[in-house]
Structures are given as C-alpha cells and as structure tokens.
Homo-oligomer: A and B are copies of this chain.
C-alpha cells in the first residue's frame, strides 16, 4: 500500500546556459538568448515526491515537516537568491539546464531519505517549461 507524498517549494536564481569550451558563436547557436553573458533568471518551482508505505502508527509515509526541512537545507539554502553558475559548486563545470539542475537536486535529496523511500523531483523553470527525474 504505497502512497506518494509531495511537497512544493521554490527558489529564485540567476543562470546562463553555455559551455566554457565552446566558442561564443557555438554557444549562441545552441543556447540562443539563454546564453546572455550577464545572465537571466527564474522563479524555480520544485516538487519533491516521496513514495513509500504508510507507517501504521503515525499514518505518515514521511512527516512532511521533515521533507520540508530537507528541501530547505539541500535546495533553498544553497540555490535561493544565487547565481547558479557562480555561486553553486555543482554547476562550476556543469551547464545549469533544467535537466541538469533536476538531477543535482534529486541526488541531494535522495541521500537524505531512507533507502525504503523512492523519490521523484519535478522542477518548473517557468510555468510552461518543466522537467522531472526519478533516478
């Protein structure tokens, strides 16, 4: 009897899509206006969905306050009001596309959960563009 428990969170960040090892021409061709050298930004919306059995004592799969705290520590405290390229070590050499960000976030939250719990992370870059990853 597995139930999925989801928590929505958000952070605001600047980023730029480009590869240091590519020419300006190639970066512009592939990443278009997302390659603005002075960065642009987003209100990222995040949904972390944890699947597991209901604990018969508490009626919880996971106390959502615990999930909320994990998201705060692993994601909000380090990504919010930051420049992903310059301020977040994971993206020093990794292009901060939505796809790469959602994998990084998944990995950071997953290690904090018990092994009996599955995880899926959905990340909205804009209300119209979003990605999800479940390992």
Please list the residues of chain A having a beta carbon within 8 angstroms of any beta carbon in chain B.
Answer: 1-10, 12-15, 17, 19, 30-34, 36, 38-43, 54, 57-61, 63-65, 80-83, 86-87, 94-100, 102-103, 126-133
One of B40, B97, B102, B127 near A14 (C-beta < 8 A): B40
Closest to A8 in B: B128
Each complex incorporates copies of this chain amounting to 6
One of B54, B80, B128 near A33 (C-beta < 8 A): B80
Contact, CB under 8 Å: B13 / A82: no
Contact, CB under 8 Å: B129 / A7: yes
Given contact pairs A12-B42, A42-B43, A59-B97, enumerate 19 new A-B contacts (beta carbons under 8 Å). Answer: A4-B131, A4-B132, A6-B130, A8-B127, A8-B128, A12-B41, A12-B126, A31-B58, A36-B81, A36-B82, A38-B82, A38-B86, A38-B87, A39-B41, A40-B81, A54-B100, A58-B95, A59-B100, A61-B131
